[in-house]
A = this chain, B = another copy of it.
């Protein structure tokens, strides 16, 4: 079709003057009239909430087809019912960034699954307080809100949500008493991982951590820096490991990526024959992606995993690029987190009070850990 242009505009206004009075889409009322039934009957034919005789239904359906009526307008329906069938998911970051994290993706997957069962779709919302973002929780027709990647800033969203009286579910974060929570318990599984390594005779252990949130460069960190960690998950996982291995060397990565793991791994494993530092016999990475990188670094240096060095991860996700290895890792129920959040949404929509759920991680022994190498 042509773009706007003078000639076209003229002909358009011509059409406009002598066009039929009502070029608007058919409504359910039109259908009802055409079918010779009441509006409520027509409505019920589409919603299926009440029994309608076959004959009547057919008449309504025929009329609808005739008029090109495609079913009730969701906007009107949602005004009337008070439900839009949409649940907002608030992400802290760019999608690109968020979906780089396989755990987050899996959680989203579980969430969409659960919500689909419920009959709801997922509206992606990025929480960016700075940007001029006109579609926010203020103006989106949503029935509930799920907070997925929580940082302290995310909680600003909560005020808006509370004001609207929307049900809120917070995944791994603190949303206050009126929000439902989905929490993870990794204590037991982490302890098992520690024991596993201890039992294999590992004493020289190193840790590759997620970022501290302090804008540090990748590398070895000091106790002082450890004390100032600002990312909760990093701090907790580190604490869990250091309970068993208080003297472990700690390398902070700049993110949960394979390539970061490679760099951290080199730092730890590429040690001069008789330099001051000894090569650890086991490396505990705070994510599977980091662990995959460490495995890679080891192999690059001609070290065999697990014969020469053991490597463990955290998350239990499938890592593309790990080759034949199966990581020894703490498996977190990523998709289950989403499903639990979906279930919580369902409950709150049913009017039940916000209730929280604690999900357990499990410890999985893979092929990347073995007896400590004799030094």
Contacts and interface: CB of A to CB of B under 8 A. Distances in A.
A121 interface: yes
Q: How large is the interface on A (under 10, 10 to 19, 20 to 34, 35 or more residues)?
A: 35 or more
B4 A86 contact: no
A33 interface: no
Interface in A355-372: 355
Interface string A58-74: 00000000001011011
A165 B116 CA distance: 24
B135 A126 contact: no
A245 to B, nearest CB: 28
A138 B4 contact: no
What is the oligomeric copy number? 2
A105 interface: yes
A134 B119 contact: yes
A306 interface: no
A124 B95 contact: no
A343 interface: no
Given A140-B74, A262-B323, A125 B121 contact: yes
A84 interface: yes
Interface string A154-180: 000000100111000000000000000
A178 to B, nearest CB: 9
Interface of A: 1-4, 25, 68, 70-71, 73-79, 82, 84-86, 88, 94-96, 99-100, 105-106, 108-109, 112, 115-116, 119-126, 131, 133-135, 138-142, 160, 163-165, 257-259, 262, 289, 292-293, 296, 320-323, 352-355
